[in-house]
Structure 1
């Protein structure tokens, strides 16, 4: 073949072999277009990963739980673990994940389909990262659903790309010049910049709240006097008996925030000789703590009782050696792991287990839990410095800053008998007063109890089949005669995902059905009809069915056919969703009941030995 003919052949071959960059494809990986079904599947996988990582980012910024991840659950524990942030810069791993997945999605949407396979090398690296984190999740017991979906989406996307030909090398030549990789990088950088800005603003606001709380705490600590009473301290103490700075904390060994707090205190104890530290137990598990209703931390009771058994058998040193190990283990252990550690610590496993399972350890743990409730505990860790509660302990370096500010005042060393925390009523009132006043839309007149023009407003969101919601509603309505200047509105927040998009599971399957029934009763029967059906449902203990509701509506003088038509109408169901949306706007905690008094959220409404609800309402009345 002549040279001119060979040259023309090379030009013809080369003309069809350029990728989306306008360059010849790198050796080992030529351009290949993907089909529409494959593209759609890739889009769905990346969208799932973006959504899941976005939910984890939202959890970080909102400071509460997200649907499917309750407080203290796997998502919280994963975020609080050493694997939850990027070493060196202390950024949540979820930030990195969201930026990465948004970048990939941007490239997938923008780059021509014959160029997206250039992402393969980058996605292979991402796949290795997902495999690593899945191992961490399994080994650490961090079964966070959003983490799992993000990594599943990433690995699924990798598998999808690997099915596309040609498979090529791990990193083909001109990898970084690929338009797909460049678009991914642009998306990654853009999202990262947004997250940096958002995080800076969030940290500034958190810092302002922390500074206010810290200033108030240090002011109270400085104002404390010399009078002495019963010592406020744990059974075992680190540091001097008389110390200038005395930290007492109610904690749980499986509480993620408690782990972070313990590590911060450990560093302070290493640095300072004017600080003492003791712990009291508050396991989030009804097996040993009658003040909680569900076992958020399944091994917390046995961990607390193991620490107490070590103290009984080994004294101060024995308690702290076991305590440190339990913190390291995050409160989790098997029988075999515990027995091995007991032998290492010099205990007879049989004798230790006998003591651990005995009545004395249970009594001691319950004694601590009772004391915590008497002080108004609402979360763990609940931390006191010199008898004054330090709020917002989940913020970074709060403990260190508090200790440094108090030390700068040169307080005199005192014994724990100088420390007297306020009781639960005082604390709960302060907590309610400190909450901001929210702008809450007025409830329709038909839904209100009491005088519609009364100046003091009480709003409750709840599920009609939820026991504490029903108890709160009855408490309020029984006292309205004594509060003529108070109006009360109940709004539905069904614990039923069929109409409540904020939930990921259903607690009461009839929740949406009942909420719509009340809206229809307000439309058809006005205020008397709504009140009658509301009171009937609150007191009705049987399963609520459509037939039972229709029969009750007829008994209360409403037209059943008209009510049924309204019950099935779209406006009624939209009204229910409107009540739910208000909660989403004014409060991040998706718990029921939600109580607001004159626009301020009340985190609790009852105490064992004080009339908290009446005290809050009477203070609001006096302020008018």
Structure 2
């Protein structure tokens, strides 16, 4: 064997011993899983499905917040409804059977156009439901005064002189004839209206000029405020035996009153 050939073999052997076997760098199963998860997560974050999901969650959160707020407001109204003065035949003007199981208590303003509309609805409601009577209480709004305040005082004078029937007759005619909004029925027409329904002019003028019912009107207004009334008509349906009371805000249609009555009947049975 030639020397040069031997030297080549030796060098080849030394090189193999110094470098060792060549191996591929391995990746663990855990790392592969993490990589896949990260890849899928990034794809999802950039997808339409993710945007829709975010929108759905936001809408659900808003709906829950709104429902919670509505529940708080309803609870507050129910608590305030407990402040409504109970029906008192000595001071309240009751339309319908005095011993009726339920009472529609209305805080109203003779110059309110919504009250004018609701007055017709309330008459139909108690006409359809003899188990319900109707109590009218005064809530003259400042921006309808002095007309609304004076009309309320005049109606009370009609009731004092002629009884409950004259109070209601007088009230019906004001609502029928007023154009509403503060100047719909002139104060100068209040005395002639009393004469029209058969009340003695001098007695009515004496009562009206004395303003003897001004405080009663203001007291009813204050009780309405304490009961949560902020606008007119402010209505409450009351079960007289239990004192259970529900709020019916605004000039609701007849169907809404009927529904409230049926619901209350179911609750108090």
Please state which band the TM-score falls in when normalised by the shorter chain: 0.5 to 0.7
Distance 1:596 1:574, change over 3 A: same
Q: Does 1:435 align with 2:75?
A: no
Match of 1:493 among 131, 139, 142: 139
Cross-structure match for 2:3: none
* Structure 1 alignment gaps of length 5 or more: 1-236, 249-275, 278-382, 396-429, 497-505
**Which residues of 2 match residues 572-587 of structure 1 at below 5 A?**
572-587=213-228
- Residue 195 of structure 2 aligns with which residue? 554
- Structure number with the higher helix fraction is 2
Native 8 Å contact 2:114 2:250 kept in 1: no
Distance 2:86 2:163 in 1: 20
CA distance in 1, matches of 2:76, 2:264: 10
Aligned partner (choices 118, 121, 129) of residue 483 of structure 1? 129
- Residues 530-558 of structure 1 show CA distances to partners (whole Å, capped at 9, x for unaligned) of 01101001111353223322111111111
Alignment match, 2:232: 592
Q: Within 2, Cα distance between the matches of 1:620 and 1:557?
A: 40
- The structure-2 alpha-carbon separation of the partners of 1:444 and 1:570, relative to structure 1 and needing over 3 Å to count, comes to farther
CA contact (8 A) 1:438 1:600 kept: no
TM-aligned CA deviation for residue 519 of structure 1: 0.9
Residue 158 (structure 2) pairs with residue 521 (structure 1): yes
Paired residues of 2:108 and 2:136 also in contact (CA < 8 A): yes
How far is the alpha carbon of 1:604 from its aligned partner? 4.7
The match for 2:107 is: 461
Once the two structures are superposed, the pairs formed by residues 34-433 of structure 1 within 5 Å of their partners are: 240-242=51-53, 246-248=57-59, 383-385=62-64, 389-392=66-69, 431=74
Contact 1:432–1:602, Cα closer than 8 Å, also in 2: no
Cα RMSD, aligned residues only: 3.3
| CA deviation after TM superposition for structure 1 residue 466, in Å | 0.6
Structure 2 gap segments, 5+ residues each: 1-47, 239-244
1:348-406 CA-partner distances (Å, limit 9, x unpaired):
xxxxxxxxxxxxxxxxxxxxxxxxxxxxxxxxxxx414xx952328x9xxxxxxxxxxx
SS of corresponding position for 1:611: helix
- The answer for the alignment partner of 1:405 in structure 2 is none
Determine if contact 1:516/1:572 at 8 Å carries over to the other structure.
yes
Q: Distance between the aligned counterparts of 2:112 and 2:189, measured in 1?
A: 18
Q: CA deviation at 1:575?
A: 1.0
| Structure of greater Rg | 2
- Paired residues, what number? 208
Deviation, structure 1 residue 591:
1.6
The whole-number CA distance in structure 2 between the counterparts of 1:592 and 1:447 is: 18
**Deviation of residue 488 (structure 1)?**
0.7
User: Could you tell me whether the CA contact under 8 Å between 2:161 and 2:199 is conserved in 1?
Assistant: yes
The equivalent of 1:613 in structure 2 is: 257
1:544 maps to 185
Cα 1:507–1:571 change in 2 (3 A) is: closer
Q: Which residue, 527, 530, 552 being the options, matches 2:167?
A: 530
Matched with 1:254 is none
Label 1:481 to 1:432 Cα distance change in 2 as closer, same or farther (>3 A): farther
Which residue among 473, 477, 483 is the counterpart of 2:119? 473
Secondary structure at 1:578's aligned position in 2?
A: helix
CA distance in 2, matches of 1:527, 1:552: 16
Provide TM-score, normalisation by structure 1.
0.30
Q: CA deviation at 1:482?
A: 1.4
Higher relative contact order (CA 8 A, sep 6+): 2
CA positional deviation for 1:621 = 3.6
Instruction: Indicate how the Cα distance of structure 1 residues 471 and 578 shifts in structure 2: closer, same or farther if over 3 A, else same.
Output: same
- In 1: Cα distance, 2:53 partner to 2:141 partner: 50
Does the Cα contact within 8 Å between 1:456 and 1:620 map onto a contact in 2?
Answer: no
The separation in 2 between residues aligned to 1:534 and 1:444, in whole angstroms, is 18
Structure 2 counterpart SS, 1:451:
coil
When residues 432 and 537 of structure 1 are mapped into structure 2, their CA distance, relative to the original with a 3 A threshold, is: farther
CA contact (8 A) 1:464 1:494 kept: yes
